A = this chain, B = another copy of it.
């Protein structure tokens, strides 16, 4: 063989992240980013940060940020885990908690990274079909499993489960870890945080990328029992002790401290979502009930891929998934009112 070292390499299908459009004058509704800036305190952190302190390692434990998160959610600091975006947190959780021969369960239509992590960590899995209208039926999870992952609300559908359904799931799955992925929870869904007191096998994963407008800083976190968090910490510290940089830690803290601003921008996104959903329905779209910062829509007369391409020509970027069951749907991130007006106008023109 020409390159005899090749057989030592990990065989893996390259997972390539979606290309992001770089032009400046586009309307970017394709990555579920927040159209509003982060809390003003974040700009202040950057403006006043003493760069010379960057010569030192950050706090490996991220104690200050964990403390404000613990206060915000009414849990102990030892119940908070920090990661480099919620993908990092979820990847570590898959590694830490799905160590059995039984398949883990998650919906057939959901976050596309779940099967990637299962393949990477060689975790057996089974997908559980959503109903025709993309609802999760908790009863379908009543089977032997090595763990459950459920995003609430789900993506890319935007549909959410009420808290009693989550509790039902937990009651039926006390012998495995149940991960509730709450990346989009702040746009109208009830968080499962109140269930943490009663279920030590519950892990809640959240992110600052959506509702805190900090996708650029990579801050995710998990809330769970001290047992689960200690295991996550042990695995994380065996991988990389210093995942969170000093600036992300400080900026994240500033974002969490500004509860009023946070509520304000979440409400603005929700109001715009409802307004845009109504306008899309008026144009003939079927719009899934969304409790997230995006809308999942289909049109009875026009192909999704054609709409997607048309909008792209107009410099409006939304998301189209060429996947089974949803290949005639579009995911549209909720932007500002102005951005959504332009989207609606373009769609009106098209139709």
Q: Contacts of A10 on B, CB cut-off 8 Å?
A: 95-97, 99, 231, 234-235
Contact call A37/B51, Cβ cutoff below 8 A: yes
What 0/1 readout, one digit per residue, does chain A (60-83) give for beta carbons within 8 Å of chain B? 110000000000000000000000
Flag whether A139 is at the interface (Cβ < 8 A): no
How many copies of the shown chain assemble into the complex? 2
**Can you offer 25 A-B residue contacts whose CB atoms are under 8 A?**
A5-B176, A5-B200, A8-B98, A8-B100, A8-B177, A9-B177, A9-B227, A12-B231, A12-B234, A15-B238, A17-B61, A17-B241, A20-B60, A33-B56, A34-B55, A37-B55, A54-B214, A54-B217, A57-B216, A58-B218, A85-B242, A88-B239, A91-B239, A119-B238, A245-B247
Residues of A within 8 A of B (CB): 3-17, 20, 28, 31, 33-38, 42-43, 46-47, 49, 51-61, 84-85, 87-88, 91, 95-100, 116-117, 119-120, 146-147, 174-177, 200-201, 209, 213-218, 227-228, 230-231, 233-235, 237-248, 251
Contact call B51/A35, Cβ cutoff below 8 A: no
- Nearest CB in chain B: distance from A273 CB, A: 17
Q: Which of B13, B96, B209, B217 contacts A234 (CB 8 A)?
A: B13
Q: Contacts of A230 on B, CB cut-off 8 Å?
A: 14
> Chain A contact residues: over half helix, strand or loop, or mixed?
loop
**In the complex, A85 Cα to B61 Cα: how many Å?**
16
Q: Contacts of A13 on B, CB cut-off 8 Å?
A: 234
Known: A10-B97, A239-B91, A240-B88. A5 touches B216 (CB 8 A): no
Contact call A14/B237, Cβ cutoff below 8 A: yes
CB nearest neighbor in B for A35? B55
Taking each of A217, A230, A244, which has the highest tally of chain B beta carbons within 10 Å of its own beta carbon? A217
CB nearest neighbor in B for A36? B55
Other than the given A5-B176, A37-B55, 14 more pairs (CB < 8 A) read A3-B227, A5-B200, A9-B99, A10-B97, A17-B237, A17-B242, A54-B251, A55-B216, A57-B216, A58-B216, A84-B243, A85-B242, A88-B239, A247-B247
Q: Contacts of A33 on B, CB cut-off 8 Å?
A: 55-57
Contact call B38/A55, Cβ cutoff below 8 A: yes
**In the complex, A77 Cα to B25 Cα: how many Å?**
28
Q: Contacts of A85 on B, CB cut-off 8 Å?
A: 240, 242-243
Known: A217-B245, A234-B13, A238-B119. A5 touches B84 (CB 8 A): no
- Nearest CB in chain B: distance from A295 CB, A: 19
Q: Contacts of A247 on B, CB cut-off 8 Å?
A: 46, 216-217, 245, 247-248
Q: Which of B4, B46, B100, B214 contacts A46 (CB 8 A)?
A: B46
Q: Contacts of A146 on B, CB cut-off 8 Å?
A: 8
Contact call A51/B55, Cβ cutoff below 8 A: no
Contact call A176/B8, Cβ cutoff below 8 A: yes
**In the complex, A214 Cα to B38 Cα: how many Å?**
25
